[in-house]
Structure 1
């Protein structure tokens, strides 16, 4: 009989607290890895701040302070603006939905560009695997109705990263603060509006106790995908079989958790409307149109400054130029059947 292998324990930290639904995705992933390896690989999961601060997980994984992280590449935009494109990015990106974007990642060479990004451009020894879909996201919470772009302009709103730059381009005054600081800022009246994710995540934060106008959808994160990071040396030590199990577990969790999360969001929207008397309203089309125009300007400027951003953008657009027109032809618009069976009240 072959000797039993020693159990491998990986210490990994998230960039969000344990109270967030996103951490539940992390828990599901760790549990599935342990099940599929028959206990040979165990992931010890930690919420944000347990070992290091939330936004230090990338460097900490590289330096092997922790073995890995459960996070979102958009947080690394300050290191290289191309980071946002590996999450999906604004506008779809380029009209793509989740299926299209994952097709690019898995079949179109996107994952190879992710590896190039971390290895050659950030000079970090990490492996990235998609595991978390937290989209589509809402436009956010407002203290008053937003009926036109003019109503949108001049408002002081919590928003982060490239989305904040796009909304600034549209006339909003954005404030970049962590999620846990949104409620205190709202209570002090220092912000007029805020975006986090939407649905169940926003309900858990308690935004409905501050604001009563909630708008969706939005194009700033209509596709938003998080990943698991694992230190490169730790990854090699796992061996081929366990590497493949981890990749398979991540893919399974990405899909299974996401479709369950959508039901959580549906239940949350109903609670917001019926219990908390929140006005859940459709984002005006004018804001969507102006958002895409603003994103095109921001992306063009970024492509001029950052050759790798341009490389990834052009690569995504080439994939989108094929799959988006084909999907528009074959996939019926969601509203056709939805409006027939569940007309808006």
Structure 2
């Protein structure tokens, strides 16, 4: 049994059921849907207890599919809704239609930053989000996706989560420390995020002073150290904020999302390559009671569909991100830049200061120690074994890399 399956099974089989309550959640939502345990038991009673026990397993096949409600943190038109749909499609196909997911965009039930509370409270059955969006509960949330670089990328971070102790630390944070009634699994090692969109190119730290900038998680601390005033906003609010002058520069994540929500209409300089968020992944959340109520084969499908969709998301991202970056240049007159070495070095120095402050908290320090141990070993292998792709690219496509 691989470590992902073993760790996930351990999370599921040892969990306790939360006490039924209709008290208001931290998100202010008081709606409490019927639990899946009640649903499943009620379904059996409705078909007739005697008949069900007499007929046995085939009677279950005649039941209606179990429908889970999943909300994302993404606007309806964002490419990440497509990525979430890839997960939904795999779950439904792998379960033979026994398990279906009603996929909803941000705001359909709760706001983008409130999905963690909604899943924990049972208002949603599951969610598709990123850990930085519940950073306000504990700063360590940002260490699970938008933390220090340490010479690693999204693939190395995702491997740390499943093989380096990250999943156990995540469980300790969400369940033991914060008392959240959730399971969380990670998928899709994202490429490093662009520095972002600017009305004029910037190459020095001095030029950044006073910028009103959008980012999330611990990247806010990094950018503040570079002299910018930082606002945390969900993706759907970025362009309106730019139009109103609430911000004058921003990043979200990738060329496809940026193109779809109209970044090119409010800025024309797109600066790629940055250390502020270089190792993020999706966080797929499940209410613990809902997951525990399911048959083991359906729980396994929900878990392993996360692994499957990670590959599908990666392939889709490589196709769409590269195509849309080209469209931004050729169809919308966007000028591409790479973040200057001066700004990159300043980001690393800012991370050093952020880490020093974070380590005053014992849990933060243990997470960072675990990540450093992993990154030192795995990063060494990746860097020493990896080849200079820019050299090969320039050989076969000469002149293309000159910006």
| Range class of TM-score, shorter chain | over 0.9
Please tell me whether residue 136 in structure 1 is matched to residue 192 in structure 2: yes
By how many angstroms is 1:181 displaced?
2.7
Aligned counterpart in structure 1 of residue 275 of structure 2, from 210, 219, 222: 219
Please tell me whether residue 179 in structure 1 is matched to residue 231 in structure 2: no
Evaluate the alpha carbon distance shift between residue 104 and residue 133 of structure 1 in structure 2; reply closer, same or farther with a 3 A threshold: closer
Runs of 4+ in 1 over 4 A off after TM superposition: none
Give the match for residue 328 of structure 1: 383
Contact 1:25 1:132 in 2 (8 A): no
Which blocks of at least 5 consecutive residues in structure 2 are unaligned? 1-55
Please tell me whether residue 70 in structure 1 is matched to residue 128 in structure 2: yes
Give the match for residue 274 of structure 1: 330
Deviations, residues 188-221 of structure 1 (Å, cap 9, x unaligned): 3343211111311111111111211110011111
By how many angstroms is 1:187 displaced?
2.1
Give me the whole-angstrom Cα distance separating, in 1, the residues matched to 2:325 and 2:92: 34
Contact 1:88 1:101 in 2 (8 A): no
Aligned counterpart in structure 2 of residue 49 of structure 1, from 91, 95, 107: 107
Q: How does 1:121-270 map to 2 (within 5 A)?
A: 121-270=177-326
Q: How does 1:263-342 map to 2 (within 5 A)?
A: 263-304=319-360, 306-342=361-397
Give me the whole-angstrom Cα distance separating, in 2, the residues matched to 1:176 and 1:106: 29
Evaluate the alpha carbon distance shift between residue 310 and residue 200 of structure 1 in structure 2; reply closer, same or farther with a 3 A threshold: same
Worse-superposed segment, 135-144 or 189-198? 189-198
Question: Which of structures 1 and 2 has the bigger CA Rg?
Answer: 2
Which blocks of at least 5 consecutive residues in structure 1 are unaligned? none
Give me the whole-angstrom Cα distance separating, in 2, the residues matched to 1:17 and 1:57: 13
Evaluate the alpha carbon distance shift between residue 162 and residue 33 of structure 1 in structure 2; reply closer, same or farther with a 3 A threshold: same
Please state whether the residue corresponding to 2:291 is helix, strand or coil: helix
Give me the whole-angstrom Cα distance separating, in 2, the residues matched to 1:158 and 1:88: 14
Give me the whole-angstrom Cα distance separating, in 2, the residues matched to 1:182 and 1:221: 17
Please state whether the residue corresponding to 2:136 is helix, strand or coil: coil
Give me the whole-angstrom Cα distance separating, in 2, the residues matched to 1:196 and 1:284: 19
Deviations, residues 4-55 of structure 1 (Å, cap 9, x unaligned): 3432211111111221111111111011001001111111111111122222
Q: How does 1:71-86 map to 2 (within 5 A)?
A: 71-86=129-144
Worse-superposed segment, 222-231 or 50-59? 50-59
